[in-house]
Structure 1
Amino acid sequence: MGNLAGSVPDSVLRAALPHAADLDILQVGYYLEETSAADRLLTIVTDRVPGVIRATHDADEWPKAITLLALLGPTERSKLANVVAAQDDEVIDGLLAAVEEVDAWDTLLPVAAGMAPEPLQRLAQRPAMQNPTLLTKIADLALTQNLWLSLLPLATHLSPTQLHTVAARVATEPDDSLTTLIEQAHTENHWPTLLPVALALSTPDRKRLAALPVMHRPAYLTAAIEATATHNLWPEALTVLNDLPAATHDTLATAINTLTDNNFREALEAAPTADCTTTLIQIVLRQDVSARLRSLTLLNESDNLELFVATITTQDPAIWQSISEAREGIPEPLRTLLATQATQCGRTELGIDLTTG
């Protein structure tokens, strides 16, 4: 059947395959002489796939199934992987064990890029995927075999502990390699999947990443802000704000203009915990007059206004001077709170200026 499947019409296969056992269908696929027939075969036996998977597991024939997986096109391969991820835990664990045994992660990892979120999350949560050694191996494979963009969709479903393991391996790459990885992710609109890995870096490695010139490109900063807002990653992403140079503040100020009121409120709420209120105020003050008024009004209406202002503890006179110069556009009670805070930070005259207007 395998020898003939590539040359006989679909009608013949549809007539013959009902007489084949589930495991026989796997054997037919394994012995295909024309690899282009693999997609066609899978389409014909779609309703039999769960049974074939179960039979494969029961007969411990995963190596053959993995070989067949490599023959499929990206779409059919991901469809099959989604079905596998919907099976019992023991079936999924059997597949992962076999992939490790035959060292076929370069076959399985590309499948992740096209899997549906729920099946991919289930795969990421299996015990085998909690092994730091295995995760490091997978990350190494992705980084050395041009599979970086296949790893990123999986990363969004990893736990913080898993992400730290992957991020630790990423951090061993030199600056030029990290730059290339970021450029690839940007080109393919992968900021929502890149950010979890980047934000899982250790503090020194995160500062190193923020210092890379590629991270200062306006298009990249804007895309990162948009992804952060869309997926409400403010608590994690805002920790990087203090690490970006002041030269990026104008770009960030423009990017903030594009946020919805609700998105900006979420950022304001997360800022005190991220310890970036001073930097955020600096960026807001770089906005044009109308945009700045909107931002300050939203801050003034924030439920955590007092906490936000209380965490502005900078001794930098230039920052307080900038706040004072913008005082006419600062609404109450925000201006009074800033005046009090300026006084507490040793800037009494500026505090008075803010109070008197």
Structure 2
Amino acid sequence: MIPIAMAMDDANRRRMAGLPIMREEDVLRGVITTCARHDLWSETLPLVDALPDAAKPILAQCIGDVTTEQLLSAVKTAAVSDNIPVLVDIALAQDVAGRQRILDIIDGMDDLDEFVAALTSETPAEVWTALVELRDEIPEKLRALLADRAQTCGQEDCAAGLRTTAG
């Protein structure tokens, strides 16, 4: 399925991702498992991006099955591509424990600066807003780097929001 989806243009990939079967947990689990096992994140993230919003919480549950190394590979792939918003969408769709797992992995990356640098002034506002909403869950070191990056990218409100805590 992944090679077929990658051969399609964006419009047809969105049509395929909108099929009812793409909301079934076993199908989504199979896609994520295959992707993780064969390190096909750069090929799979565009397909995930094409999924309807209703499928993302189901997919988020499947992410919990991948190993830390596989998830780190996904984070690194997203960091050097245009797929950071996709990763944020999936992270937001998870429960608190799942989000914390992803945030801890990102926070512990050796090349954390590369991940943070993937956020640009072109990053959708929803990503910046989500970071502020989750600020209390983000480890302190990562939150400070994200705040600095937001400031650099002209996202002053996001930078200020990341520098404060809700509680």
Task: Please confirm whether the aligned pair reaches a TM-score higher than 0.5, indicating the same fold.
Answer: yes
Please list, as runs of the form range in 1=range in 2, the aligned pairs for 1:231-270 lying within 5 A after superposition: 231-270=38-77
Instruction: Give the structure 2 partner of residue 348 of structure 1.
Output: 156
3-state SS of 1:255 partner: helix
Once the 2 structures are TM-superposed, how far is the Cα of residue 335 of structure 1 from its aligned partner?
A: 0.7
**Counterparts in 2 of 1:234 and 1:270: CA distance versus 1, 3 Å:** same
CA positional deviation for 1:253:
1.4
How far did residue 307 of structure 1 move? Answer: 2.4
Using structure 2 for the length normalisation, give the TM-score.
0.84
Mark the CA change 1:274 to 1:319 in structure 2 (over 3 Å): closer, same or farther.
closer
Query: RMSD between aligned alpha carbons?
Result: 2.0
CA distance in 1, matches of 2:145, 2:53: 25
Runs of 4+ with deviation above 4 angstroms: none
Q: Describe the SS at the equivalent of 1:197.
A: helix
Matched-pair contact (CA < 8 Å) for 2:72–2:106: yes
How far apart, CA to CA, are the structure 2 residues paired with 1:196 and 1:283?
A: 21
CA deviations over 1:188-237 (Å, ceiling 9, x no partner)? xxxxxx32233233343323322323222222111110111111111211
Could you list the per-position Cα deviations for residues 82-130 of structure 1 after superposition, in whole angstroms to 9, with x for gaps in the alignment?
xxxxxxxxxxxxxxxxxxxxxxxxxxxxxxxxxxxxxxxxxxxxxxxxx
Deviation of 1:345 (Å): 4.2
- Flag the 1:267–1:315 CA change in 2: closer, same or farther, 3 A: closer
Query: In the alignment, is residue 306 of structure 1 matched against residue 113 of structure 2?
Result: yes
Kept in 2, the 8 Å contact 1:239–1:274? The answer is no
Please say if 1:329 is aligned against 2:114.
no
For the Cα contact (< 8 Å) 1:342–1:351, is it kept in 2? yes
Separation (CA, whole Å) in 2 of partners of 1:345 and 1:244 = 28
- Corresponding residue for 1:213? 20
- Aligned mates of 2:70, 2:138 — CA distance in 1: 21
- Partner SS state of residue 312, structure 1: coil
AA at the equivalent of 1:350: C
Q: Are the structure 2 counterparts of residues 243 and 344 from structure 1 closer, same or farther at C-alpha, using a change threshold of 3 Å?
A: farther
Separation in structure 1 between the aligned mates of residue 6 and residue 103 of structure 2, nearest angstrom: 28
Q: Which runs of 5+ in 1 are unaligned?
A: 1-193
Partner SS state of residue 101, structure 2: helix
Residue 293 of structure 1: aligned partner: 100
The question of whether the paired residues in 2 share the 8 Å contact of 1:268 and 1:299 is answered with yes
- Which residue in 2 is equivalent to 1:275? 82
Number of residue pairs matched by the alignment: 163
* Cα distance in 2 for residues equivalent to 1:347 and 1:236: 30
Greater Rg over alpha carbons, structure: 1
Q: Secondary structure at the match of 1:333?
A: helix
Letter of the aligned partner of 1:261 in structure 2?
T
1:33-52, CA deviations, whole angstroms, 9 ceiling, x for partnerless residues? xxxxxxxxxxxxxxxxxxxx
**Could you say if the C-alpha distance between residues 312 and 349 of structure 1 is closer, same or farther in structure 2, counting changes exceeding 3 Å?**
same
* Alpha-carbon distance, 1:320 to partner: 2.5
Q: Which residue of 2 aligns with 1:191?
A: none
- 1:71 corresponds in structure 2 to none
Q: Partner letter of residue 24 of structure 2?
A: R
**Partner of 1:309: helix, strand, or coil?**
helix
1:284 aligns with 2:91: yes
User: Which amino acid is the alignment partner of residue 333 of structure 1?
Assistant: K
Shift of 1:355: 1.6
In the TM superposition, residue 277 of structure 1 has moved relative to its aligned partner by 0.6
TM-score w.r.t. the length of structure 1 is 0.42
- C-alpha contact 1:250 1:283 (8 A) present in aligned 2: yes
What letter is aligned with 2:139?
P
Verify the 8 A CA contact 1:241 1:276 in the aligned structure 2.
no
Residue by residue over 1:229-282, the C-alpha shift from the partner in whole angstroms, topping out at 9 and shown as x without a partner, is 111111211122221222222112111111110110111111134411122112
Question: What is the identity percentage for the equivalent residue pairs of Structure 1 and Structure 2?
Answer: 36
8 A Cα contact 2:81 2:118, kept in partner: no
